[in-house]
Amino acid sequence: MAEKVSAKPKGQAKKHAAAEKHAAAEEEGLDPTQYFENRIRALASQKETGGNPYPHKFEVQLSIPEYVKKYESLNSEDRLEDVEVKLAGRIMNKRASSAKLLFYDLHGGGAKVQIMTDASKSELKGEDFSRFHSSVKRGDIVGIVGYPGKTKRGELSIYPKTFVVLSHCLHMMPRQKAGPRGGAENTKTTDVWIPGSARNPDAYILKDQETRYRQRYLDLMLNMEVREIFRTRSRIISYIRHFLDEREFLEVETPMMNMIAGGAAARPFVTHHNELNLKLFMRIAPELYLKELVVGGLDRVYEIGKQFRNEGIDLTHNPEFTTCEFYMAFADYNDLMRLTEDMLSGMVRELTGGYIIKYHANGLDQDPIEIDFTPPFRRIDMIEELERMANLNIPKDLSSEETNKYLVDACAKFGIKCPPPQTTTRLLDKLVGHFLEETCVNPAFIINHPEIMSPLAKWHRSKPGLTERFELFINKHELCNAYTELNDPVVQRQRFADQLKDRQSGDDEAMALDETFCTALEYGLPPTGGWGLGIDRFTMLLTDSQNIKEVLLFPAMKPQDDPSNRESNKKTQDGPLPQEFEKKATVT
């Protein structure tokens, strides 16, 4: 569809380019402030003469994609002069062929159509026509009443009788800088980008990342693909919701402001309620509340929502991010692995048409890798596989001093750095990162984590010292975290106490005791499987995004007036992903 609309025959393109140059030249001379002031003046004079530069309503009959679909089968030079169509959208290109013949590109709903404006067909005559059209600028939002047709060269167009400006773009719209890729700003990939395929942000009209993220609306206007990223995000969430609803899960909302920030180990945001004079924490995970609801008898619950962590901003971390957590009574982690496979492979297939996606894992200058979501996913028993891969023989009592020493030595042997505090948990985490996570490009479950690493997971039914937990890794990143929930309140309290020990030895990522939650467990939590997915990270995979900012409409940005930030930002963007990242930031 887009091929037909946007691909332009070469001859015409040349002619247009010339005309465009002319149109651009009259504006290019102005600096942005001058341009802005000119436009403000024009609006003011329109208001003075009693005009309303911002009409209240323009009745739109068809969206632009609907228009394209309806009329794309016309033949060249077909003109349906008896048909009246009303369209509206933003003008992204203006080319004057003569004072009496102008071409515009009208964009809307992710599609575009040409407006061929001929003085002889317009309601405006002579001078009025030229004056009006010289006032219409690139970026303006217009309403068109006209008839459909195709030009000699087969380009679908609308031929206006009435042409109204509905809203004005007061700023000069950024243009693509002339470069080796060819100067015509209309150079666009002719294929519509679909989820799971590779993207090339280097070819975007608006490339500057700062501008793209700070003024997302410009990014959306100028870079057609960006809209598809966010539509993909919306479809991912909608798929998950549908998947869970179908299985009789109930969507619930738990508080984002908590008295204790529990359910994960992370530094929370602190705020204050004035009237109650109450210190509140922004939630870092909904886990404990959701389990309380399962205690209350809601056997299957989920929540899709924001979590907040007061941490640094980088390629995979934003202070607020979106997760889905679900809890399913009477299920264990084996059930959840199957459910995960069904959900994710099903989603990839529905959104991309197949199980294999392309992703620029090694930077945009390298070829994209393929990630295969065909179920079942590989299962890697953490300790067993670590011992095999690294040829280790870790002492069975993982909480002992002996083990700690063994692991310190192991890390030293392989040159794996583990900054203090060197708790057994952290040492294991580094080793697993080095030996196991690195091998997980296609989706793979790392399973059966030690108890000391998993304070909320249930001890393994047959492997002492371990838990029934899995993490799903894709492209070496943690996407899901799930376990058979620990529901023995006595053991839960003990685990919290152990965490406290780690805290005291300096690990501020150890979890705090939540007394309310422990009391809830004492009323009885049924056997339950619990699961969390980082939605931003999953969206990154399906949209070939290497920076989390690509999938957040309004990402948190460092304070603006610091040029050093800009530089470092660019540098990291092009480089490969860091080998290691902090796990805790995805889920639960």
Partner 1 sequence: MEGALHPMRLKQLLHFAAFPKLNKTHFIFRNTRSFSTTRCASPSSSPTVAGARNRRPSSSQTSTSDREAIRAIRIKKVEELRSKGLDAYAYTWKRTHAANQLQEIYMDLGNGEEAACESDRVSIAGRIVARRAFGKLAFLTLRDDSGTIQLYCEKEKLLSDQFEHLKTLVDIGDILGAEGSIKRTEKGELSVCVTSFSILTKSLLPLPDKYHGLTDIDKRYRQRYVDMIANPEVADVFRKRAKIISEIRKTVESAGFIEVETPVLQGAAGGAEARPFITYHNSLGQDLYLRIATELHLKRMLVGGFEKVYEIGRIFRNEGLSTRHNPEFTTIEMYEAYTDYESMMNMAEEIVTRSALAVNGKLIIDYQGVEISLERPWRRETMHNLVKEATGIDFAMFEDLTAAKEVALEMLNAGGDNQNKSSIEACPSVGHVLNEVFELVVEPKLLQPTFVLDYPLEVSPLAKPHRRHAGLTERFELFVCGREMANAFSELTDPLDQRERLEDQVRQHKKKNASLVSEDKNKKVDGDDDAYDVNLDEDFLTALEYGMPPASGMGIGIDRLVMLLTNSASIRDVIAFPVLKTPQV
Measured from the CB atom, the residue of 89 and 443 that comes closer to partner 1 is: 89
Peptide bond connecting 376 to the previous residue in cis, omega within 30 degrees of 0 = yes
Q: Does residue 53 interact with partner 1 by CB under 8 A?
A: yes
Q: Could you say which of 271, 400, 494, 505 contacts partner 1 (CB under 8 A)?
A: 271
Q: Does residue 468 interact with partner 1 by CB under 8 A?
A: yes
Nearest to 361 by CA among 547, 543, 546: 546
Nearest to 164 by CA among 148, 146, 187, 184: 146
Measured from the CB atom, the residue of 238 and 505 that comes closer to partner 1 is: 238
Measured from the CB atom, the residue of 295 and 482 that comes closer to partner 1 is: 295
Measured from the CB atom, the residue of 178 and 490 that comes closer to partner 1 is: 490
Distance in angstroms (rounded) separating the CA atoms of residues 197 and 421: 42
Q: Does residue 578 interact with partner 1 by CB under 8 A?
A: no
Q: Does residue 114 interact with partner 1 by CB under 8 A?
A: no
Least Å from the CB of residue 207 to partner 1: 17
Q: Could you say which of 179, 180, 297, 419 contacts partner 1 (CB under 8 A)?
A: 297
Stretch of 5-13, 297-305, 427-435, 449-457 lying at the interface with partner 1 (CB under 8 A): 297-305
Q: How many residues does the chain have?
A: 588
Q: Could you say which of 25, 32, 59, 82 contacts partner 1 (CB under 8 A)?
A: 59
Residues 6+ apart with CB under 8 A from 160: 115, 117, 121, 122, 144, 145, 146
Q: Are strands 111-118 and 257-258 parallel, antiparallel or unpaired?
A: unpaired
- 496: number of Cβ within 10 Å: 20
Q: What Å distances lie between residue 254 and 282, 295, 492, CA to CA?
A: 12, 14, 22
Q: What Å distances lie between residue 416 and 331, 356, 452, 506, CA to CA?
A: 37, 33, 20, 20
Q: Could you say which of 312, 415, 419, 563 contacts partner 1 (CB under 8 A)?
A: 312
Q: Does residue 417 interact with partner 1 by CB under 8 A?
A: no
Measured from the CB atom, the residue of 218 and 446 that comes closer to partner 1 is: 218
Residue matched to tokens 């979590």: 307
Measured from the CB atom, the residue of 368 and 465 that comes closer to partner 1 is: 465
Q: Does residue 497 interact with partner 1 by CB under 8 A?
A: no
Instruction: Let me know if 380 is exposed, middle or buried by CB neighbors in 10 A (0-12, 13-18, 19+).
Output: buried
- 15: number of Cβ within 10 Å: 14
Least Å from the CB of residue 60 to partner 1: 4
Q: Does residue 162 interact with partner 1 by CB under 8 A?
A: no
Q: Does residue 234 interact with partner 1 by CB under 8 A?
A: yes
Measured from the CB atom, the residue of 196 and 529 that comes closer to partner 1 is: 529
Residue matched to tokens 């993207």: 199
Stretch of 4-12, 35-43, 154-162, 580-588 lying at the interface with partner 1 (CB under 8 A): 35-43
Q: Among residue numbers 191 through 230, which ones bind partner 1 (CB under 8 A)?
A: 214-221, 227, 230
Q: Among residue numbers 323 through 352, which ones bind partner 1 (CB under 8 A)?
A: 329-332, 334-335
Measured from the CB atom, the residue of 437 and 514 that comes closer to partner 1 is: 514
Angle at 542 between CA 538 and CA 544, to 5 degrees: 110
Least Å from the CB of residue 490 to partner 1: 6
Rg (CA), the chain: 29
Q: Does residue 252 interact with partner 1 by CB under 8 A?
A: yes
Q: Does residue 273 interact with partner 1 by CB under 8 A?
A: yes
Q: Which residues of 235-246 are buried (b: 16+ CB within 10 A; e: fewer)?
A: bbbebbeebbee
Distance in angstroms (rounded) separating the CA atoms of residues 548 and 450: 30
Measured from the CB atom, the residue of 443 and 534 that comes closer to partner 1 is: 534
Least Å from the CB of residue 303 to partner 1: 10
Measured from the CB atom, the residue of 232 and 422 that comes closer to partner 1 is: 232
Least Å from the CB of residue 457 to partner 1: 12
Contact 480, 443 (CB under 8 A): no
Least Å from the CB of residue 76 to partner 1: 29
Q: Does residue 20 interact with partner 1 by CB under 8 A?
A: no
Phi and psi at residue 178, to the nearest 5° = -60, 135
Contact 235, 346 (CB under 8 A): no
Q: Which residues of 118-155 are buried (b: 16+ CB within 10 A; e: fewer)?
A: ebeebebeeeebbebbeebbbbbbbbbbbbbbbbeebb
DSSP H or E segment with residue 567? helix 563-574
Measured from the CB atom, the residue of 40 and 497 that comes closer to partner 1 is: 40
Q: What is the dihedral of CA 40, 41, 43, 47, to 10 degrees?
A: 130
Q: Could you say which of 8, 133, 168, 476 contacts partner 1 (CB under 8 A)?
A: 168
Measured from the CB atom, the residue of 17 and 170 that comes closer to partner 1 is: 170
Q: Could you say which of 251, 350, 509, 580 contacts partner 1 (CB under 8 A)?
A: 251
Q: Does residue 25 interact with partner 1 by CB under 8 A?
A: no
Measured from the CB atom, the residue of 6 and 403 that comes closer to partner 1 is: 6
Binding track over 530-569 against partner 1, x by CB under 8 A = ----------------------xxx-x-xx----------
Q: Could you say which of 27, 78, 210, 311 contacts partner 1 (CB under 8 A)?
A: 311
Q: Does residue 246 interact with partner 1 by CB under 8 A?
A: no
Residue matched to tokens 């080095």: 434
Q: Does residue 184 interact with partner 1 by CB under 8 A?
A: no
